[in-house]
Structure formats: structure tokens, C-alpha cells
Structure 1
């Protein structure tokens, strides 16, 4: 099983590298892969050092004990087995390695944020509260917040690990009358507690900057209570936390067992009073009675920085004077606009396309999009939909039919937005298979659709088997793929990789696949662009266009962040029920 898993890992890596190389994006693949490997290695090794050093210290300190006193009871035979020093060491080392690996994976989870941090550029604009460059909030603050969280998690894991080790070795003895703790064990755990308190203090410092993302006030961003109460509260909590750490240090040199409890209890009480109750009292008694006046400057910050974030701060506002003197001549002079007023609705139009132009049940119109063309010398807004292959509906399902025979959709259906037949049906400007167009600008010479919105299955082209192209009456037309849109099989070595990647033995044994054959995968448009540029945010509705007789997919992409201070987040466009909702696009 281990060998099979390693082969799977290699196949996944190799096949993905081939895909990027075929698209001439090898640099993207290797940059991301090397970054992930380096990040996982750095975080994993750091965790190994922190955990390993602490466990080694615990082992060294506890080695002076010659007997185990687990819960102050006699050892059972099983416990005697585990009392073997060598076995305990093996279990301890294994546990440290596993936990370090987990912490390395956790560090890897923020690989894109880490890359942003090391490749950041200044925005050239500062926030109104701390006067830091916006780039600090977009790139640096999320990075340092993640690093602090990870370090806190690692130190807590170390504290738990050494406590369990001391418990097992008898340095911590649980009795009916209480808990007995050896001084070196108490000092070690207290020292880790000091580090935890220092990391908490660092967290409060970072929380000050995160106030500029606050959603607790009248507007997005820090309000009066945040700036005049919560901000100072964080400063007080920093000193309280450091003071609690000092109490733990004193506990290392004192016999007073309650000092650690006092430190933890004091921290909890201070967090509630200073971090919670105090800002709420300021909000209730000072801000709320005169909220608009108190929040006015912060509302203005919200307006100004929201405009900056969306690039609207340079837009000139010009009053629009309403005139009630519209004439027939004005309408006649605006016929381009009038003739493109949208009367068709996408939902019923998609169903109509399916009824009129589906041709066969294995075709499907997944979505209706809009476009604009100069048709017969006139500017026309149109609706169109791709005729994709529906793998759920293909006849005689088999590996051959699904991946070698039915490989592509065919053409589009296109109609203007503002006209219909007397029966209410759309007037089709592009229809049928092969596609028939009313104007040369809409003429399609390459109607094959090997990529689409719903194409999740892979396809193998340029095999010895002719591909199904389109139906013509009771007969079928066939085609052989002539382009280079897939990854060449080219060798038996690649056959093995594809067989493992797709879990399909036919790559190894099928005589239909030759060295010249190509494998198309990641055929769903959204999947392709997200793999190529994962640092962008994409509109979830790719759209099709006709140009030079070919069909091209277009996707709108955006650079987004949720960390622009005082910038109101964009909650998304509420679309029609049959369409997806564009997710949160933060400013």
C-alpha cells in the first residue's frame, strides 16, 4: 500500500506538470510547488526543533527518576512493558515527528499568503489611524498574524507533550490529596507558559491593527469606541499579559503553587473586563447618545477608503439634470439603444434552446450568456449558449464512449435579446449542426467544443478511433482532432502515469491509444483558470464569444483582498435563481 501511494503521489505530480507544460505555464507550476515544499519544510523543521528540544529537555530532567509513578499506583504488566526506556523513546520520537508533520501541513495551508508577503509592494497610501502603508494591512498583517497563531499552536502542543511526558515519568503525580509536581517539571511548564503569554501579548498588538477591519461599529472599520477604548484596552492587556508572564517566572523560584493559577485567572478576568466590558460601556454611555457626531470622522474614513479600494476616488461626480422634454425625435435618434433593450429572460430562453436546438439528448445548454456584435451593419446585443456534451446522457456508457468517442460539444445557439417570433420563440441567428449563421461575423468554421462549463471528464484524442463529431439525420459524422490542446501520451512511461492518475488500466492495455494520442483533462473552464492563476478571484460564469470563425471562452478575473482598512466589503451580486451567486468580493 505504501508503494502504491508513492506511485500515486508521483503520478499526480508528473501528470500535473505535463498539463502546465502543455499550456506553457511550467513556471507557475514549479514556483507554486517549490514554494509549498519550502514552506512545509520550514514550518515542519521549526516545529520539530521546538518540540524536539522541549521533549529532550523533559527526558533529560526526568531521567533522574528511576521509577514510574503513574497516578501513584502499582504498574500493570502493560505499563511495565511501556516502561522500557527504548520503547518509550521510540513512541516519543514518533509522536514528535507526527505532530511536527501536522504543524508543517498547517503552515503549508497559508502558502499563498506567505508568497504575497515576500512579494509585496507598497500601495503608496497610508491608513488614517496608525499611518501605515496599506500594503502592511494587505500583505504583512495577515502573514504575521498567521505566524503568531502557528507559533502559539506549536508552543501549546509542546507544553501538552512535556506535561504528558512528565506525568508518565512520575514527575507529575496525581494523588487523592492533590497533585505533586517536581520543581524542574513545574519550571519547564511555567517557562512554556511565559512564552505563551508573550505570544498572546503579540497577538493583542496585532489586534490593534485589525481594528481597522472591525464590523462591530456603525460602519466597517474602527469607530469611536474602537479607537478610544478598545485600542487602549489592548495596550493595557499587553502589559497585563506580560505581567502574568512575570508571575509565572516568579512561580519558578517560589513554592507557592497557586501563582500559575493566579496568572491564568488574572489573564481571563482582564480579557473580559478590559477587552469586552470596558469598550461596550464606552459605546453605550458615550457613543450611542450622540452617535452621529462621535462616528462622523470614522464614517468619512469608511467612505474615503472604500472609494480608494475600488479605484473610485478619481471619478468626477457630475450632477445629472433631469429633463422632462423627451420627444419622438429623441427616441428616433437613439434607436441603437432602443433596439437593444433586453426582452428575453435567460431562464426560459435556456429551456427554449434545449427544446429547439438540443438536437440529441446527449447535448446540453448549461448556461446562457450575453455578447455584442456588429450584425448586418448594426450593433446588436445577443444571447448565446454553448451546446456542450452531457456525459450523463450519452448512450451505451463505457470507458470508450465516455473518453474516446464522445469527446466534445458542438457549436452554439445565438439569438438577439429584443426580438421573437409571433409564437414568442427566439429568432435564431446561429442554429443547428453544423451551425448556420445569418451573418459572416457569426459564421463558425471550428464548432468543436473540447472545453466548457460542465466538462469534468477527461478525453483522449488522436486515437485510432474516430471521434463522434455531430449527428446528421440518421447518420453520424466523425472527426479526428488536429490541434495540440492535450498532453501527448508519447511513451509507455506516460501511459503508466496516466493509468495511475485516472485509476484507469486502459491507458496501459488499450490498442486504441498510441504515442501520438493526446489526453485532455482539467477541461472545465473554471478549473483551468484556477489552476493556472490561483491568486486571482474569478467570476463564476465564464462566457463564450465567436471570433474569426472560432469559439473562445472568456473569464473575468479580479485581484481582491479582505484586508483593505476601512474599505466596505462587497457582498456580491444577487443573480437570478437559476444562476450562481457571485461570492463575496472584499474590497
Structure 2
């Protein structure tokens, strides 16, 4: 301190400390306010317990890991720390490293939690006889702990060696002989710890062989079981022997190297028997790791297995087949034969009206384009995707397609994108458009059951089938901006002619923010001080955030995987979003992983329902016997509800998820083969049939629905994008199974099913089709109908080729394409009707300067005939009614024979 006051250096230090203190206070405030808002949000939705578990578990784990790491590292550094360096730096280093390790561990808190609450599966792996729960829950954690332990040991040994190096360099030579014994004892002990973790890694490697890809299938093969597994056992033993040797030397004979001071110079002297023993142990370990761990299994695979692979690997192939089927829930597929007789008559059509009147003629992309042209009404509304569902209308089960009319903030004019408009005025979408899958107007446009703003039913039957008390959509797929409701500002409800209809939110969603202190906290957390300055709030005002439904459910349950296609449901007088959620794992033994490699086990364990008006979220157990969801249920006892708690009207709209079905059909294409020899030879390998589609078709973005498949230009000789082959997506349809299968329930005349076809690999004829049932007690059951191998059943590409070869159809299409328009061919649908197959394909006509496609023709192929008519009914009449000259039946021309294909 100078005579005039504190020194400038001290002033700078005080200012720095004050700034640091303010920074720490600001960070703590931000964290505290964020935690308060999060807790209120979870509590408002009824999941306070979930929030407390999600916060307590990682911080509890982090605290335990921090204390353990601090104790371990502190003791080691205390022994090795150079005395001339302040202890404060040692403590800071311990805190920094321990905090970093704890932060890494906190990111894996859920892995620890599932191990503590894991449920046994009751099924053991066929090799090591451990319950499958060990692989699903314990093994991932053990592998992680082994890696962490080894690298923490390496880090500790490196820091200790560095400290001792500094001490040796600063010690006088005369004092150096006193140091080596302590140094060696310490480093030998750390080396022993490293070898313990190395041995643990070899021991755990035995279990990871359940996911080996050494053979032609997933899981341990003959070489893994008889060569690699014993080698890992041997290496684990050698590593542990080396660890014991190092620990023994650390305790009883730490002087591997001696230093002798002579004439102010240190001379190194090796003690031969200890060094020789260690060299033998670790040399043997290294040779065993190379020989037994690498070369010997490879030799066994090449010499003993490959020349006799089927004989050697037969039992392991059987394990792979059985466990892959279990992993993808394919063990109980009902397989039946389907003898194609093609004996339909006009009477047969009358007996199958439920199927025929629900044949889907609208693809997602053209229908979405039509919705956007006809029903968005205002530029700020958007239909994000089209979904498929079924409703009972006037006593009949009808398949419909619909889309929510959501508010897309990116479409609001730039000059109208003010803070008040974004957060007070444009708050929600409104209603939906809904139409049957197979009905069009006279000009080929969708014939709506629900249309316009406000939503209006087009008939008394539709009004009775679709009662909507409140069509406002405050929570949806596009709602990504936070809004304030129940304020003094006017809130747009929906536009009407030249005026607007305004509303005040009457729902229970959102958090209260009427008090000044609440707005202060929200303004602080979200960094938006206009929340504090606005005069639009009143005591009843509420704050709606996390309105995007996928973000909403992922925040509540991030441990589930969610379907990419939420769909809207009209039930109980309101609008609800239904989202399928999955439990997955990549640690199911012997199960073949998906092509992406990120999972080999999947269950549609949960159905999530989000209220589009209030934002409430409910998680319903759809597969309660799944061991993963049973474990999650033990962790979060208040999160999940039984499916019976869902209202009956909502339950009637549960559907088998498309994403899951695609994964299952991809696996079933190979794993329908149950015989090991047939599987090994791939004698009966199937594939999902392909269809030709345009790469950059522009009939909408194709999001949602039953696959992102674009239409293709009919005449590929015309200018435009080249067609490409894509796998046919599954499609939903209403099917009369009782007319196909005599064992089906005759009282259920029609069912909503998800169907996918199979063809043999490198062939185009149909070999089978799989259906997933969606209704009632039959929900989730998988049916496979296999076609006879003795006769040809045409596949989609063959039928499309036959359609293209029809001279009348191709001539008409060419004429349309030359008159300022273009024709797009829709998806080809395969419709089973009794013991026959109908192939149905719509044609869409689109003007070159318009994005409004019209369904202009329907093509049906049956047996050796193809017809193209303006409507489905006319096409069926042309096929099955007596043909007279000049009628639509003229289109029913014989196709070329099979040799033309």
C-alpha cells in the first residue's frame, strides 16, 4: 500500500475477484432459474417425480465419482508431488481432473440406473448361460467401467511419473539413492492396477463374442467359442498374474533399479532376477496376445472352419436364427399358405366391398400437394404431412387420409414478424383436412369429409363420425415458437372472409406468468427482456413453450426412441397426437443388427398421446412384457400408464407403426428361413420389391405417412429427372381376412392392417406378403402368407412393365404428356381379395405450370388383363362385367406373355 492508498496491482486484483464473483453468481442464477422452470414444467404435466429422478441421479453419480476420483488422485499425487510446488496447485489439479471425470460419468447416469433396476428376462444365452438381462443392462456398464478404469489408471500413472521426474531433476545427487525405492513402489502398484483392468477387458471380451461378426452371421461361431473364448480366458489370467506380480514387487521388493551415488554422479544398476521375472511374465503375455489372441483363432477359422463351415457352425447358426427372431419379435409369426386361384367374379366383389371401397387411390405426395392448394386457405398455414387412419362412418369402417392445418411461422410475411405477432397474435393452427382414400370429385380432386376454416363436415354422417369441439392446434409438429396466452392482446383464432375471428385460450396448458417475479425469471432464463417490459400480461396469463410435440416427449422421456411419423387422431371431441415409442438395444446376444448397426432389439413398448390443445402428455404401455420397459417402469413408477387407461375411442386408432414394420420385414426377408442349411446357403432369400420412382419428384415433400416415395414421370423418354428404383414402402389397408383365412374371426368382417410384399432376391415374382394387424385384441399379430412355388405370381415390377406395354394406356399417356401437362404414376398397391390378387395403380395429371395434381385414371391389373378407367368402380366393371363394344371394357386388353418380361 502506498501513502496515497492501495496499489494499482491490488486494485486490479480486487476488480478481477469481483468480476469473477459476479460471473459465478450469474452462472449459478442461470442454473437455478433453469432448474426452477424445468421443475415447474414437469410438475405441470404431472411428472415431478421424473424430473427429480432425472436431476438427482446424474448429480448423485457425479458426486460419488468426484469424491472417489479426488480421493484416488489426491492420495497418489500427495505421494509424488514435488515439495517445492505449492500444494494449492495440487489441489486445483485434483479438483479439475476429478470434475472432468465426474462430468463424463454424469453423461452416462442412465446406464447406471438401468443396472440398478434391471429386470431378469428369464432366458439365458446359449454359450455362457447368462440371463439376457446381463447383456441388455450390465454388460454395457461393465465395458464402460473397464475403459474408464484403465484410462484413469493411465492418467494417474502419467501424472505420478511426471511429478517424480520433476523431483528427480531437482534432487541433489547425494540424496537420489533414497528416492528410487518409493518411486518404484508407487509406479509398480499403478502398473498392477492397470493390468487388473487389462485382464478385466479380456474377461469381458468373452461376452462381446455374442456380437461377433467373424462368421457369416451375427454372434459367436465355432472359432469364437473354441478358439477366441479360451484365448481371452488365457489372456485374462496372464494379465492378472502380471498384476499380482507387480503388486507383489511393489510391496515386498520394489527395488528393480538401484541408484548408487559416486563422485557426484548417479549410476544405474538393474536387479536381474526381478527384472527377468517381469520380462518373462509380460513377454509371455505379449506373445500370448499375439499368438493365442490373433493368429490362433484366425488359423482355426481358415483351416478347421471354412472348409467345413456349415458342419462346424450349424448350432451357432441356429442360435442366430432363434435370437434374431426374438430380438425383432418375429418368433410368433403366423405363417400360412396362399394359393392364388384368380377366380373372382362380380359376386366376389360384392362380398368384399369393405376391402374394395377402401382401396387407397391417393398417394401421400399428390394428396399433400392438393391439400396445400385447396385447404391451407391462408399463406401462414401449412400441412406438414399426410397420415392414414380409419374411422367408422355411418356404420362402415373407412380408411381416410388427413393432415393437420398448422401455423408455420416461417411463412408469415417478414414485415409481420414482430415480437408481438410471433408471441401473442399467431399462436396456433386450426383444424385439419380429411378425405377418404378412394373418392374424388368429378375433376379428380379429393372429396373431403372435413374441409375449410372452421372445419366443416360435408355430410351428416361425417359430422357424426368426426365431432371436434375445439379444433385449435397449440401443440404440433411445426409449433417451435413460444407463445403467451390469456393476455390483453388479441389472439388470432382463424381468418374469416375479410375479417379475423379472435379468441382467448381456455385450456390448461402452459405455466402461469401473471406475477412480475415470474416474468422476471422467464426473461432472465430465455434472454428475452421484452417479456418483462411488455404491458400485455395480466394475472391469468400463461406461457406455452416446448410446443413441438417430438421435443416435448423427448424432454420427458429421452431414453425412448420415437417414430418419425406422429399422426393426428380425432377422439373424444378433441384432437390428439399419437406417437409410437420404442425400446431398443444393440446388446441382444446373437441377434443380427440392422444395416445401420445401431440396434438388434426393438419393441413398440409405448404409445404416447399428446393433447393438441392442452399439451398434456400420456405414456401408455403397449408391450408390458418387454424387459427394457419393465426396467424403465421400475425407475419411473409414475411415468407409464396401462393401455387400458387410454380411452376406448383413442385405442381404436392405435395402429401398427410403419417404422417398426419396415425393420421387421427387412429382417424377416432373411430370417424366415428356419433351417440352418437353407439359411447358410441362402437358398430362399427374400427382398422387399422395388418400384420405379422419380428422384426429385415435386408433388410435395412426402413427409410422414407410409414412406417417403416420390412419383415418377410415366414416359421416361421425355425431358426430366431419370427414374430410380426404390423399395416399396408398406401400406395400410382395410382387409377382409375372414375371406382369405378360414381360421380368422368371422365376426370381424374387416380389419385395418399394414401390408408389405416380398420377392425372391434377384427375381421379380411375388413369393409372400406380410400383414401386421392393428385392431382390438388382434393388435400386433403378424401374418405371413406364402405363395405356391409351383406357379408364377406377378410382382410389382412385372405388373408395371405390363402396364407400360399396354398400347392403349401408353398411347393415352403420351398424348397427355404432349399437351402442356404430365402424368405421374402412383404407387402400385397389391390387394388380396379372397384367393386372388388385384394390382391397383392411380394416375395423376398435373399441368406444367400448376402444382395441383388430379387423379385422372385408375389402372387395375388382374390375371392377364389390364384396364384403365376414370374411376375404380368403372375399372372393376370393365374387368368383371360382360364387355360390350364401345364401353369401358375396351381397355381390358390381354397383356403380353411372360416371355416378354
- TM-score, normalized by length of structure 2? 0.58
Secondary structure of 1:515's aligned partner? coil
Which one of the candidate residues 388, 402, 421 is aligned to 1:370? 388
1:254 equivalent in alignment to 2:256:
yes
Aligned to 1:527: 551
Cα distance change of structure 1 residues 358 and 117 upon mapping to structure 2, 3 Å threshold: same
Partner of 1:272: 290
3-state SS of paired residue (2:484): strand
Give the Å deviation of 1:311. Answer: 3.8
Q: CA deviation at 1:298?
A: 0.9
Partner of 2:407: 389
Displacement of 1:324 in angstroms is 4.0
Q: Deviations over 1:152-206 (max 9, x none)?
A: 2222221122122222333699xxxxxx993422331221111111111111111
Confirm or deny that 1:411 pairs with 2:424: no
Paired residues in the alignment total 553
Higher mean displacement: 40-49 or 436-445: 436-445
Q: Is the 8 A contact 1:7 1:500 kept in 2?
A: no
2:30 counterpart SS class: helix
1:21 to 2:33 alignment: no
Which whole-Å deviations, capped at 9, do the CAs of 1:487-506 have from their partners, x for residues lacking one? 11143332222112211112
1:495 aligns with 2:499: no
Q: Which has the higher helix share?
A: 1
State whether residues 50 and 155 of structure 1, in contact with CA within 8 Å, keep that contact through their aligned partners in structure 2.
no
> How many angstroms apart in 1 are the aligned matches of 2:140 and 2:583?
16
SS of alignment partner, residue 371 of structure 1: strand
Closer, same or farther: CA 172–421 of 1 in aligned 2, 3 Å:
farther
Q: Distance in 2 between matches of 1:183 and 1:172?
A: 17
Distance 2:169 2:221 in 1: 51
Query: 2:645 corresponds to which residue?
Result: none
State the distance in 2 between where 1:532 and 1:100 align.
Answer: 30
Does residue 562 of the first structure (1) align with residue 586 of the second (2)?
A: yes
How big is each residue's C-alpha offset from its partner over 1:201-220, in whole Å with a ceiling of 9 and x where there is no partner?
Answer: 11111111111122332111
Displacement after TM superposition at 1:34 (Å): 0.9
How far 1:387 moved relative to its partner?
A: 1.1
Taking structure 1 as reference, are residues 131 and 493 closer, same or farther at Cα in structure 2, changes over 3 Å only?
Answer: same
Q: State the alpha-carbon separation in 1 of the partners of residues 702 and 283 from structure 2.
A: 54
Write the deviation string for residues 231-274 of structure 1: whole angstroms up to 9, x where unpaired: 11101211232243355454834234977788767655543333
SS of equivalent to 1:337: helix
The alpha-carbon deviation at position 486 of structure 1 amounts to 0.7
- 1:351-362 counterparts in 2 under 5 A? 351-362=369-380
1:342 and 2:360 are equivalent in the alignment: yes
Matched, 1:325 2:343: yes
C-alpha deviation, 1:314, in angstroms: 4.2
**Distance in 2, Cα, partners of 1:8 & 1:127:** 49
* Number of the residue aligned with 2:128: 130
Distance 2:256 2:168 in 1: 21
The equivalent residue for 2:683 is none
Q: Is the 8 A contact 2:567 2:577 kept in 1?
A: yes
Go from structure 1 to structure 2 and tell me whether the alpha carbon gap of 1:172 and 1:566 turns closer, same or farther (over 3 Å shift): farther
Conservation of the 8 A alpha-carbon contact between 2:39 and 2:51: yes
Once the two structures are TM-superposed, the CA of residue 464 in structure 1 deviates from its matched residue by 0.9
Could you tell me which of 454, 464, 488 is aligned with 1:434?
454
| RMSD of aligned alpha carbons | 2.6
Matches within 5 A, 1:302-321: 302-321=320-339
Indicate whether 1:452 and 2:454 are aligned.
Answer: no
1:32 corresponds, among 48, 54, 71, to 54
Q: Does the CA-based 8 Å contact 2:405-2:433 persist in structure 1?
A: yes
Q: How far apart, in 1, do the equivalents of 2:343 and 2:169 lie?
A: 93
For 2:506, what is the secondary structure of its paired residue? coil
CA distance in 1, matches of 2:130, 2:338: 38
The one of 507, 527, 541 equivalent to 1:517 is 541
Q: 1:457 to 1:263 in 2, by over 3 A?
A: farther
Mapped to 2, the partners of 1:455 and 1:170 lie a distance apart of: 65
The 1-side partners of 2:55 and 2:368 are apart by 41
The DSSP-based 3-state class of the residue aligned with 1:278 is helix
Give 2:501's match in structure 1, choosing from 469, 477, 485: 477
In structure 1, how many angstroms separate the alpha carbons of the residues matched to 2:507 and 2:473? 12
1:6 counterpart (13, 28, 33): 28
Within 2, Cα distance between the matches of 1:546 and 1:189?
A: 70
Provide the rounded CA distance (Å) in 1 between the counterparts of 2:573 and 2:59.
Answer: 44
Cα shift readout 1:262-308 (whole Å, capped 9, x = no counterpart): 87676555433332222222212221112222221111111112233
1:45 aligns with 2:52: no
Q: How far off is 1:352 after superposition?
A: 2.0
1:54 aligns with 2:76: yes
User: Counterpart in 1 of 2:160?
Assistant: 162
Tell me which residue corresponds to 2:418: 398
**More divergent stretch after superposition (258-267 vs 135-144):** 258-267
Distance 2:329 2:496 in 1: 53
| CA shift in 2, pair 1:355/1:287, >3 Å | same
Q: Distance in 2 between matches of 1:168 and 1:520?
A: 59
- Give CA deviations for 1:377-435 in whole Å, capped at 9, x if unaligned: 32211111111111112231122111111111111111222222344322222111111
Which protein has the larger Cα radius of gyration, Structure 1 or Structure 2? 2
Aligned partner of residue 555 in structure 1, secondary structure = strand
TM-superposition CA deviations, 1:92-132 (whole Å, max 9, x none): 21111111011101111111111111111111111111111
8 Å CA contact retained: 1:245, 1:263:
no
On the 8 A contact 2:181/2:255 being kept in 1, the answer is no
Match of 1:556, SS state, is strand
Label 1:238 to 1:400 Cα distance change in 2 as closer, same or farther (>3 A). Answer: same
Query: Distance between the aligned counterparts of 1:121 and 1:20, measured in 2?
Result: 27
Aligned twin of 2:621: none
Match of 1:197 among 178, 195, 198: 195
Distance (whole Å) between structure 2 residues aligned to residue 480 and residue 18 of structure 1: 23
- 1:326 Cα deviation (Å)? 3.2
Q: Where does residue 70 of structure 1 map in the other structure?
A: none
Cα displacement (A) at 1:455: 1.6
- Structure 2 distance, partners of 1:270, 1:419, is 73
Q: CA separation of 1:393/1:267 partners in 2, compared to 1, >3 Å: closer, same or farther? A: farther
Structure 1 residues 316, 392: CA separation in 2 closer, same or farther (over 3 Å shift)? closer
Distance across 2 between alignment mates of 1:197 and 1:150:
14
Specify the SS of the correspondent of 2:405.
strand
Q: Does 1:281 align with 2:306?
A: no
